[in-house]
Amino acid sequence: MSNPGRCASIGAVTNTVWRGPLLKRARGAVLRRLRPPGAREGYFEALAPTYDDWWTRTGRMANTEQLRPGWSEEVAALQATIEALEPARTLDVACGTGFLTRWLPGLVVGLDASEAMLEIANAQAPEAIFVRGDALSLPFPDGSFGRCFASHIYGHLDRAERRRFRSEARRVAGELVILDTAGEGREEGAVQDRGLADGSRWQVFKQPFTPERLIDELDSGEVLHRGDYFVMVRSAAS
């Protein structure tokens, strides 16, 4: 690809990412068709223009740092932890605007269902390759990546969807890293009413996690980050 920062077709990503022993498998793969956008995808499409305000506490989130003391310091700690990961061929699932994608070491493919998110990601993480796709039906052959990285998507999935996601992530990658919202949470999450800057309102499912709960769902793993606002764990494919 002459410009790897552009949104790419799945075929182009296949030709760029998979080489050597994976090339034969990639050529023979039948890639999955994308499912139509649903309510969750519509929410993130509408959220895209202001999504990074949540990370940076600017724009619509300006002057809210006092409500979340230590937020910026914890985001900086996350950056250091992500950048310290061993370089790997990485699939960043639900990459959003690419805010975290740019910190991932190695060759990175970002996947998201939102075209608006991907447009921003192209500019923010120009070294990555981006493709539009479904997190629950990953359009890649088995064993295509060394690592699957998932930030703030796992907690938006219900229990059945999380099982499906774990299966898909482990199909395509040897290691799974999940970053999500910290919290004791309930046995099962709750639907939240969320308003966006454009005036729209959305019903969004959210499940917070302790590191222990995440590791329990993954069957095994190690804690990479334990904070007031975020948790991150790593688990090898079983």
CA-CA distance, 46 to 184, in Å (whole number)?
A: 29
Residue corresponding to tokens 């760029």 = 16
% of the chain residues with pLDDT over 90: 61
Domain range list for the chain: 10-16+38-236
Structure tokens at 5: 């920062």
Q: Which CATH number, 3.40.50.720, 3.10.180.10, 3.40.50.150, 3.40.50.10800, labels domain 10-16+38-236?
A: 3.40.50.150
Would you call 69 exposed, middle or buried from its count of C-beta atoms within 10 A (0-12, 13-18, 19+)? exposed
Contact at 8 Å (CB) between 149 and 91?
Answer: yes
Tally Cβ neighbours within 10 Å of residue 17. Answer: 22
Please give the pLDDT value at position 186.
Answer: 59
Structure tokens at 203: 């019903």
- pLDDT one-digit tens code per residue, 33-63: 333 345 677 888 888 999 999 888 888 788 7
Contact at 8 Å (CB) between 25 and 143?
Answer: yes
Rounded to two decimals, the pTM is 0.82
Let me know how long the chain is. 238
Q: Which of 86-100, 108-122, 153-167, 175-189 comes out lowest in average pLDDT?
A: 175-189
SS3 of 125, please? coil
Q: Which of 20-24, 35-39, 91-95, 168-172 comes out lowest in average pLDDT?
A: 20-24
Contact at 8 Å (CB) between 112 and 151?
Answer: no
Contact at 8 Å (CB) between 97 and 55?
Answer: no
- pLDDT one-digit tens code per residue, 166-175: 999 999 999 9
Distances (CA, A) of 56 to 73, 74, 91: 11, 11, 24
Residue corresponding to tokens 């039906």 = 137
Which DSSP category does 22 fall into?
A: G
Contact at 8 Å (CB) between 187 and 28?
Answer: no
Tally Cβ neighbours within 10 Å of residue 213. Answer: 17
First to last CA, the chain: 34
The amino acid at 134: D
Strand-pair partners of 226:
231
Residue 129 belongs to what H/E stretch? strand 129-132
Structure tokens at 235: 């688990």
